[in-house]
Amino acid sequence: MVIRYDLIAAHEAGVISHPQTFIKDAGFTVKQFEGCPIADCIFMEIEPYSKNLLQLSFIDESNWRFTNTSK
């Protein structure tokens, strides 16, 4: 599952930890991680798949294709 983590919305929601740390602490494994500064967001491929994570206002499912991938 690839997610888009909105940095500004996370900050406004009171999240103070690094995005990758937040996702790991929530029980997910981060497979790939790529920042997109112009959009103030981070794209992460995570496991396992969970729609529950999408209930957070600052996380959306994405179809982002990572630039550093051999897939």
- Cα separation of 7 and 5, whole Å? 6
Is the pLDDT reported for residue 69 higher than 80? no
pLDDT for 35-68, tens place per residue?
999 999 999 999 999 999 999 999 999 999 998 7
Cα dihedral across residues 52, 53, 58, 61: positive or negative = negative
Query: Model's pTM, two decimal places?
Result: 0.89
Range of the structural domain that residue 26 is part of: 2-61
As a whole number of angstroms, the distance between CA 59 and CA 51 comes to 10
Q: How many domains does the chain have?
A: 1
- List of residues 6+ apart from 20 with CB closer than 8 A: 30, 33, 42, 44
pLDDT digits (tens, 9 = 90+) for 13-41: 999 999 999 999 999 999 999 999 999 99
66 inside domain: no
28, 49 Cβ separation under 8 angstroms: no
